[in-house]
Amino acid sequence: MSALFKSILKDALCVRSVVCNSCLERGSHQYRKTITWENTLQFSEFLTKSIVYHDNGLLVLNKPYGVSFSRSSGSNNADKSRPDPEEIVFNKQKEHKVKNPNSIYATSGIVSDSLSLVDCLPYLKQQFGYNKLYIARVPEKYVSGVAILTTSPDLVEHINKGRAHAPTGKDKYLAVVVGVPRYTSGKIKLGFKLEQHPKKGKRIVLLQKWSNRAYKRGEIRIGTFHHEVISSGYNDLASLVQINVDLRKHHAYRVFCADYLHSPVLGDNLFGSRVQTLMGVPTTVHHFNDVADTPQKLPQEIYSHLELTTGEAPIIPVHIHLEEMLLPRFFKKGQSLLLRAPVPPHFLWTCERLG
């Protein structure tokens, strides 16, 4: 049994059977089965079976990959006039000559622009007997894992206050990254900011030093990262990394893997190309370099293990999962509540293949 797979098997037994029972039809890849719902009703029914905690005014879901909070939110982007940044990258991929570049995603079966959690709220309210449901915390579209709904707005405020005054590292992510990170473990405080280019627009920049003035002006977001490499797979092609962090904005955990660890998240086409291999050594390129704006290119051996051709690269999901979320001081006596969600089938399958 693979090292990557062993590392998460204990906590993922409840989804292991999903992989086994959904044996792939001839010519159909596991990644194309990441999203199988054809309408909101089917998706809503699926969510009722994805509850990981239901008590104390909380309805906690294991949000699947590729579905956003609302149809206009995209990757934390509520501006309908702006295209999804993930899709912008693939629009530049000339190998896929299609009339509508967005159909690369539409036909891949790995994301959905027509389904959203908001559309499922009426069904969930009816099924669980609630008058109202409120969104407290939900991972972005390209991240699976813990998503919190509450029965009152006061609970949302209570959760936010508890998390704001708690120690760092309240969220734990699992990520499959390319190669082996340059640091096997560590804890570091990093800054993130948006840097403007006259022709290319804004890019997210990781900082190890910053001025207090810039922070006070709100130009810098600061996050504390505590990471550990759990295991590495065949020929060090990929590694399973645990990341505890208190910052979500600016895709901080994905930028951390690429710019700091030099091991981008598998399937990350926003930041994956910031790391290039030079004479066998992973090296970061400048965030405004043209290469950094191209889709992620993987070693041929990875494609082989994943049973993909290089032309099928767009169907690889972003392999990052919000496994745990801590709600500090949630209960009246000050006790905290730890919420957990098992990894999805496609994540588990990848760990098997690359182990």
Angle at 269 between CA 265 and CA 270, to 5 degrees: 95
SS3 127: helix
Distance CA 61, CA 68 (A): 13
What's the pLDDT score for residue 206? 94
Q: How confident is the model at residue 269 (pLDDT cuts 50, 70, 90)?
A: very high
Q: Which residue has the higher pLDDT, 195 or 113?
A: 195
What's the pLDDT score for residue 3? 58
Q: How confident is the model at residue 205 (pLDDT cuts 50, 70, 90)?
A: very high
pLDDT in tens, 85-100: 445 444 544 444 433 3
Give DSSP secondary structure letters for 310-335. Answer: GGGGGGPPP-EEEEEEEETT-STTS-
Percent of residues, the chain, with pLDDT higher than 70: 81
What's the pLDDT score for residue 160? 92
pTM of the complete model: 0.84
Could you tell me the CATH number of the domain that includes residue 56?
A: 3.30.2350.10
pLDDT in tens, 35-66: 889 899 999 999 999 999 999 999 999 999 99
**Given a cut of 80, is residue 243 above it in pLDDT?**
yes
Count how many domains the chain has. 1
What's the pLDDT score for residue 165? 79
pLDDT in tens, 1-16: 455 655 565 555 444 4
**Given a cut of 60, is residue 148 above it in pLDDT?**
yes
Distance CA 202, CA 251 (A): 14
Percent of residues, the chain, with pLDDT higher than 90: 65
Q: Which residue has the higher pLDDT, 111 or 51?
A: 51
- Cβ count within 10 A of residue 183: 14
Domain span at residue 56?
A: 3-354
User: How much is the average pLDDT of 63-77?
Assistant: 68
* C-alpha distances out from residue 272 to 22, 89, 297, Å: 30, 11, 8
